[in-house]
Structure formats: structure tokens, C-alpha cells
Amino acid sequence: MTNDVQPIFSVSEFIEYINLAIGRKKVVVEGEVSSFHVNQGKWVFFDLKDEDSKISCFMLAYTLDVACEDGMKVRVTGSPRIHGKSGKFSIFVDRVELHGEGALRRAFELTKKKLASEGLFDVERKRSLPVFPEYIGLIASKESAAYTDFMRILNQRWPGVQVSLIHVHVQGEQALSDIVSAFQWFNGNTGFADVIALIRGGGSLEDLQAFNSEPVVRAVFSSRIPVVCGVGHERDETLADYVADLRAATPTHAATLIVPDQQEIRSHIRIAASSLESSVRTILERQDHTVTQAVGLLTRVFQKTEYALQTVIRDFCDAIIRTENQINDSARLLGQRATEIEDKTRYLLSAAELAAQSAKRNLKNMNPLTVLKRGYSIVRSSHGTVIRQLEDVRSGESISVAVSDGSFGATVSLSQKQGTLLS
């Protein structure tokens, strides 16, 4: 009889015990998606089923990097667990991988439709590549034939260009994060790339799944540096092709798009130089003919100008001589006129002097004092007016009488018709 004692768990303890036991290792489960829905943009819930069974799955929305919908065949990686409150068994999913051509094709179409509606594939936003890039950023697997072929064509066409390679996985679980990190590095470190090439060889839709993932497409879209995408063979297409600034059919085609062919450039330069030389020669010949014509025309013009100038100078000299003669004649005439004016002025001054002397004598004779000296007198009324006739005074009026050496007062005494008596 054994004495082993079985542990007794509470429900919570038992669930925790089971979760510890079954959750230590990751599991990979393959099945068909059903009841897929996203809650509040944070949680993703779906069932994974096959012909006989199904299991519930949930995951964080930001960790889902592929487009999903009901009916897709997928492989999920995660940890099994029992939810404490509901007792429901489920898988906490870390990663979802599409499985099967149908699921991959459907996810491709869903992601393409979503990103196209956001404008990621618009032609208007695509940029031109630099004509002569000095630095090329290369995102590829250094162990791939695509890398070898790309570098071979690059060095053939444009030797000396500097290439900065970031080695990445181009398929599998790590490819997505590698490629996104590579774009982040080139855009965060200036001076390493004038253009970025994203390349890999051909493969199945499953092999190219990383280049159809939303994170990689958004990384290409967000690049500040122009991107050339050369993934797969010519018949292959990825969403990275749609969003890149330029799509190349193959990795080697990407090399031909990024750098010019030095032989072609040299040939173009030789042709351009020859054409330029021929054009310059033709222009010089035409200019030589034009210059010869111009010189002849100028010579004729100068000859005519010289003759006209000589005529002008001769006419000018004649005019100067005529002007000089006119000045001399005018000077002689002016001298004659000056003499005449001087004689006439002297005559007028003499006549004026004689007239002044005559006026002086007349004024002297007409001076009242002179008259008074000859025995005459000037009689004034009491108002100071000169008395010229009897009617100017009355009998008894006081008057003043001016003589040559003074004046005296008097009184008027009138007799009948005898004139004035003074007293």
C-alpha cells in the first residue's frame, strides 16, 4: 500500500500549474482560420480548425504582420494556455505565417488593396533617381547569386561607385525585421546612399512573402532615399515593387537602372564632341564669311563717312572764315557807330550846358529879390496872400510890405477912386 499523497490544488492554482507545464515550449499549429476579428484595434481573435477539431487563438494586433481572413490556411507559433476566468483553452500567438498558395495570394490581394487605398502606390509620389550616383545602399543577402550578379553588372557599367551592403535574410521568419532595420539604418545615417537597391532572386510566393508584408512595404514607402526594387524574375511581382520609386525586372536589371554604362557615356561624349566640333567649324566658317562682309560694308561706310566728314570740316572752316569776316566788319561798324555816338553826345552836352546857363539867367532875373532891389515891393494881406489889386483889401485892414532889405506893417486907407493910402 502506497503512502503517496496527491497534491490538492485550488482551481486557480491548477490552471497556473497547467499553464506552467504546457507553456514552457512554443508550439507550431497549422490549420484554417475562422471567426477572425479584431477587438478595439488591440486584440486579434480567431479559431484554428481542421476537419475534426478547432482551437481558439488570440494575439496582440501590432504583432500581426500579414493580412488574414476566414478560410486562409496558416501556421501559428505561440504558447498554449488556459484562461483563468473562462477555463477556455487557447493559444497565445506570437506569429502567424500564411501557408499555401491560396492563402498567400489572398493575403497579397488584401494587403495590396489596403495600401493602394492609402496612396502608397501612387505614381505622383515616385521620385527620379540620381543620374550619376556616388553611393549606393544595397539591401540583399551577400550569399545569394542575386548579390553576385548585381555587383558584377554594377562594376562592368560604372567602376568605382561605392556600395554599402547591409546583409539581410531574404526569406523566413527573420527576413521581415532584417529588411525593415536596413531601411531604418540607411535613412538614419546620411552620406551612405544616394539610392537604395532592394534585391533578391526568384522564388515561390511563399519565398517572397517578406516583400509582400506590410512592414516592408511601409519601410520602402517611408524611405527618404529613392528606392529601386529588383526582386525575383521578370514574371514575379511583389508589393515592394509597387511602392518602390522604380521597379526592376531582376537584380541585374536593377544595376542597369541605377548606374549608366560608362562605354555608352564615352560613346555619347565622342559623338557629342564630334558634333560640337563640326557645329563649331560650320559656325566659324559662317562667321568668317559674315565678318568679311561686315568688314567690306564697314570699309564702304567709313569711306562715305570720311568723305562726308571732310565736306563737313571744309564747310565748317568756310563758315569760320565767313564768321571771322563778319566779326571784323561788325567791329569796324561798331567803331564808327561809337565815334558818331561820342560826337553826338559831346554836342548834346554842350547844348544842354548853354540851355542851363540861359535858364539860370532867366531864373535870376525872375527872382523876387532882384525885382525888389529895383524899387518894387510885395504887399501881403493879414492872411499872407499877395495883394495884386484893390479888390483884394479892405479899408483899415492890416497888411505887410516886403522890400529889398526887410518888411514892415501898414494899415489900408482907401479914398474914392484914388487907390490905396498907407498909414
Evaluate if residue 219 carries a pLDDT over 60. yes
Answer yes or no: do 147 and 200 share one domain: yes
Evaluate if residue 422 carries a pLDDT over 60. no
**pTM beyond cutoff 0.85:** no
Q: What is the mean pLDDT of residues 74-78?
A: 91
Q: Is residue 107 part of a domain?
A: no
For 208, residues 6+ apart whose C-beta sits below 8 A from its C-beta are: 171, 200, 231, 232, 236, 238
d(CA 164, CA 194): 11
- Total domains, the chain: 4
Answer yes or no: do 170 and 235 share one domain: yes
For residues 146 and 203, is the Cβ–Cβ distance under 8 A? no
Q: Is residue 232 part of a domain?
A: yes
The pLDDT, as a whole number, for residue 84 is 84
Q: Is residue 200 part of a domain?
A: yes
Question: By percentage, how much of the chain surpasses pLDDT 90?
Answer: 39
Answer yes or no: do 53 and 93 share one domain: yes
Evaluate if residue 2 carries a pLDDT over 70. no
Please name the residue that has the C-alpha cell 498554449: 80
Answer yes or no: do 147 and 70 share one domain: no
Of the ranges 5-14, 100-109, 112-121, 371-380, which one carries the lowest mean pLDDT score?
Answer: 371-380
Answer yes or no: do 138 and 255 share one domain: yes
Answer yes or no: do 41 and 83 share one domain: yes
pLDDT digits (tens, 9 = 90+) for 140-193: 999 999 999 999 999 999 998 999 999 999 998 899 999 999 999 999 999 999
Counting beta carbons within 10 angstroms of the beta carbon of residue 191, is it exposed (0 to 12), middle (13 to 18) or buried (19 or more)?
Answer: exposed
pLDDT digits (tens, 9 = 90+) for 261-288: 998 888 888 888 888 888 888 888 788 7
Q: Is residue 304 part of a domain?
A: no
Q: What is the mean pLDDT of residues 73-82?
A: 90
CA atoms within 13 A on the CB side of 419: 5
Strands 43-49 and 227-231: unpaired
Last residue of a domain, one of 237, 260, 283: 260
Cell numbers linked to 262 = 560608362
- The CATH number of the domain where 72 resides is what? 2.40.50.140
Q: What is the mean pLDDT of residues 16-29?
A: 85
Evaluate if residue 204 carries a pLDDT over 70. yes
Answer yes or no: do 72 and 148 share one domain: no
Confidence of residue 350 (pLDDT cuts 50, 70, 90): confident
Answer yes or no: do 286 and 228 share one domain: no
Q: Is residue 246 part of a domain?
A: yes
- Output 391 or 38, whichever has higher pLDDT: 38
Q: Is residue 344 part of a domain?
A: no
Evaluate if residue 21 carries a pLDDT over 90. no
| Amino acid occupying residue 301 | V
Q: Is residue 393 part of a domain?
A: yes
Q: Is residue 19 part of a domain?
A: yes
Cell numbers linked to 281 = 567649324
Evaluate if residue 134 carries a pLDDT over 70. yes
DSSP assignment letter at 385: P
Confidence of residue 372 (pLDDT cuts 50, 70, 90): confident
Which of 23-32, 246-255, 313-322, 390-399 tops mean pLDDT? Answer: 246-255
Evaluate if residue 420 carries a pLDDT over 60. no
Cell numbers linked to 140 = 540583399
Q: At what angle do helices 101-117 and 214-222 cross, to 10 degrees?
A: 30
Answer yes or no: do 277 and 166 share one domain: no
- Output 59 or 353, whichever has higher pLDDT: 59
d(CA 342, CA 295): 67
Cell numbers linked to 153 = 553588372
Evaluate if residue 68 carries a pLDDT over 80. yes
Cell numbers linked to 13 = 492554482
pLDDT digits (tens, 9 = 90+) for 296-347: 787 777 777 777 777 878 887 887 888 888 888 887 888 888 888 888 888 8
Question: By percentage, how much of the chain surpasses pLDDT 70?
Answer: 97
Answer yes or no: do 17 and 73 share one domain: yes
For 209, residues 6+ apart whose C-beta sits below 8 A from its C-beta are: 66, 97, 98, 104, 171
The pLDDT, as a whole number, for residue 192 is 94
- The CATH number of the domain where 230 resides is what? 3.40.50.261
Confidence of residue 418 (pLDDT cuts 50, 70, 90): very low
For residues 412 and 397, is the Cβ–Cβ distance under 8 A? yes
The pLDDT, as a whole number, for residue 421 is 45
For residues 50 and 69, is the Cβ–Cβ distance under 8 A? no
Counting beta carbons within 10 angstroms of the beta carbon of residue 195, is it exposed (0 to 12), middle (13 to 18) or buried (19 or more)?
Answer: buried
Counting beta carbons within 10 angstroms of the beta carbon of residue 271, is it exposed (0 to 12), middle (13 to 18) or buried (19 or more)?
Answer: exposed
d(CA 194, CA 129): 8
Answer yes or no: do 74 and 139 share one domain: no
Integer angstrom CA distances of residue 402 from 209, 378, 414, 420: 157, 5, 20, 16
For 244, residues 6+ apart whose C-beta sits below 8 A from its C-beta are: 198, 220, 227, 228, 229
Counting beta carbons within 10 angstroms of the beta carbon of residue 47, is it exposed (0 to 12), middle (13 to 18) or buried (19 or more)?
Answer: middle
Last residue of a domain, one of 246, 275, 291: 291
165 Cα distance to chain centroid? 38
For residues 259 and 157, is the Cβ–Cβ distance under 8 A? yes
Show the domain range for 92.
11-99
- Output 365 or 215, whichever has higher pLDDT: 215
Q: What is the mean pLDDT of residues 38-42?
A: 90
Answer yes or no: do 53 and 159 share one domain: no
The pLDDT, as a whole number, for residue 253 is 95
